[in-house]
Structure 1
């Protein structure tokens, strides 16, 4: 299995090829990409590659994604204890969602704690609903980065499905 650095290099190379293809397609007016769409796709892809890697399920050890969080990397240790390596966290649809849900839970706990400790403090509020033309590219970028990681690990889209679909043997 590739190391964290190899995973990052694979993702960077794929992003470079994809960006070049998108630029050529845009210049030939085959696709229409706004700067906001390109930026949000890039941000989603970068977050998925460097901060929310599927290997965070190994957070007790030395994981590149955990180190990219700096001292906040310790927040991912419980995630590593919750999920076994290459289990649900390495599935194609639910795996990326587990990391987003875990991150949302950590943020909610921190905000709740801050509001409890300092009731008079005003915290930033959630912005107005963001345009779908911006949300879709960030989600696509995030999921593509996750899927490249899984492909490099040799994990197919039906990962775990064969086991769950098998009928129990009768004795």
Structure 2
């Protein structure tokens, strides 16, 4: 299992290849990629690589992703206590969703607290609706960064499925 630094280098290298391929495909008019789509993919890929790494399930220890949060890194300790390392948080579909749900919960708690303590404070709003042309690159960038991490860890897409199937067969 690579260190956090090696995971980051793998993702940076893969991003370079992905972006070069997208640029070549775009120049040859095989695909159309708008600047907004490229930015959305890039931001989501960076967030998935540096801030929302699957290794946050080790957040009670020293984890690069937790350090990248600065003082807010302490907020990830409960996540690390909730999920065992290489368990659900290292699954291909649900793992990335657990981190997004955790961030959403933290944001909801802060917003709720602000509305209770200072009800007159204006809060930014999420633009409605978010178009598929922006949402798709966000999801693709985030999941690509997560899956590269899992591939480097040697986690197969069916991670945990065999164990679950065995439990069902025993009954």
Q: Which moved more, 1:147-156 or 1:22-31?
A: 22-31
1:122 deviates by: 1.7
- Tell me the distance in 2 between the aligned counterparts of 1:38 and 1:126: 20
CA deviations on 1:66-99 (whole Å, 9 max, x unpaired) are: 0000000011011001100000000000000000
Calculate the TM-score normalised by the size of structure 1: 0.97
Residue number in structure 2 paired with 1:77 = 77
Residue number in structure 1 paired with 2:37 = 37
1:20 deviates by: 0.6
RMSD: 0.9
- 1:91 aligned onto 2:67: no
Q: Which moved more, 1:114-123 or 1:12-21?
A: 114-123
- 1:14 aligned onto 2:27: no
Query: Where do 5+ consecutive residues of structure 2 fail to align?
Result: none
Output aligned runs, 1:90-129, within 5 Å: 90-129=90-129
* Paired positions, count: 169
Calculate the TM-score normalised by the size of structure 2: 0.97
CA deviations on 1:40-67 (whole Å, 9 max, x unpaired) are: 0001100000000000000011100000
1:126 deviates by: 2.4
1:125 deviates by: 2.1
- Tell me the distance in 2 between the aligned counterparts of 1:120 and 1:42: 35
